[in-house]
Amino acid sequence: MKKVLVAMSGGVDSSVAAALLKQQGFDVVGVTMEIWPLDSSSTSSEFARGEEKKSCCSVSAVDDAKRVASMLGIPHYTLNFRKLFEDKVIRDFIEEYTNGRTPNPCIRCNEFLKFNALFKKADELGAQSIATGHYARVGVRDQGSGVSRTLMKGIDKTKDQSYVLYMLNQEKLARVLFPLGGLTKKEVRAIAKKLKLPVADKEESQEICFVPNDDYGKYLENNIGSKVKPGPITDISGKVVGEHKGIIYYTIGQRKGLGAFGGRKYVVKIDFKNNSIMIGKKKDVQGTELIAGKISFVSGKAPSGELEVTAKIRYNAKEGGAKLIPMGYDIARVIFYEPQNAITPGQSVVFYDGDEVLGGGIIDEKVG
């Protein structure tokens, strides 16, 4: 019987994933990554004060996962990943915002915890595979001399999470199971209710789990203190038109909190070196070209030349037709055929061919 380690967050998705795998005859072991709360020496002072959030990393979420595992009759373990989470996710989040960039911590969490540390734990427990409640699919392509795995979008387009999984490679895809990839969210809820799982009606957490009340500014200010300094606000021509309260409070495309400047203005650029932000009109926020780094491809091989793709520049963005131009080992230029709104350094750009995820990388700059 094949043993599979299921990452159980205490939510309905991972709970149903575990239930389905057990029904399919797998030897299921539930595990919950304990990343909350951090101890009092943690960088995350909000955690140290015990401001729990109702999220995938809260104490109550761990309890929910244990209840579901007990109901399913499967063993359950909690894994202490607190230090790893702080080192790989929280510190990066703080550093990126301090440098005027806007990171996606969920992608870092997937890369370093769920699909790195969790694989190591699977090996320790003798599990051949790991599974999560992500809405994505793994496909197989016959190449004559062997097979390769493909990462595919989930069937439910409103819940597809393939964007945050673009860093998966062939080795990992060969050992990953996504039981919910062929289901809709509505169907998953129905299964949970039919099985009378205690989390069947549990609401989803939409916020970043370690930021209380989704207040990024307060969280960052509490953690970097004196590094938050006011600076100039300039217009497109470079003229100083005001003063900002600290670059950590702003992101590209932001309008809220800028004040009155004779009409609607948006953050067009954040200049970390000069501690300034540039504002402009809606059209000034749009762009068609970007440079991305830390590029990875699911196939393990970069295209030999230019490639026609669709791409999107953030999780909730629409895909747009684009030309992908490799520029080196892990750098690429992406040229969109239609303007994209708020190309933001720190966010991920992900490349697709239809429903297949080709790969992605981190946006370094907008260049056009």
Active site residue 57: no
Q: Look at residues 169, 151, 165, 55 and name the one whose alpha carbon lies nearest to residue 107.
A: 165
> Residue 207: helix, strand or coil by DSSP?
coil
| Options 56, 57, 106, 109, the catalytic residue | 109
Query: Sheet harboring 3-7: ordered strands across?
Result: 76-80, 27-34, 3-7, 129-131, 176-177
Structure tokens at 149: 């795995």
Buried b / exposed e over 6-15, threshold 16 CB at 10 Å, is: bbbbbbbbbb
Residue 43 phi, psi (nearest 5): -60, -30
H or E segment to which residue 23 belongs? helix 12-23
CA torsion, ordered 245, 224, 102, 47, to nearest 10 deg: -120
| Options 56, 57, 106, 209, the catalytic residue | 209
H or E segment to which residue 32 belongs? strand 27-34
Structure tokens at 5: 């380690």
Q: Look at residues 182, 179, 178, 147 and name the one whose alpha carbon lies nearest to residue 165.
A: 178
List Cβ neighbours of 314 (8 Å cut-off, separation of 6 or more). 104, 344, 347, 348
Buried b / exposed e over 82-121, threshold 16 CB at 10 Å, is: bebbbebbbebbbebbbebbbbbbbbbbbbbbbbebbbeb
Cα–Cα distance measured from residue 345 to residue 252, given in angstroms and rounded to the nearest whole number:
8
Cα–Cα distance measured from residue 52 to residue 257, given in angstroms and rounded to the nearest whole number:
27
Residue 205 DSSP symbol: P
Active site residues: 109, 209
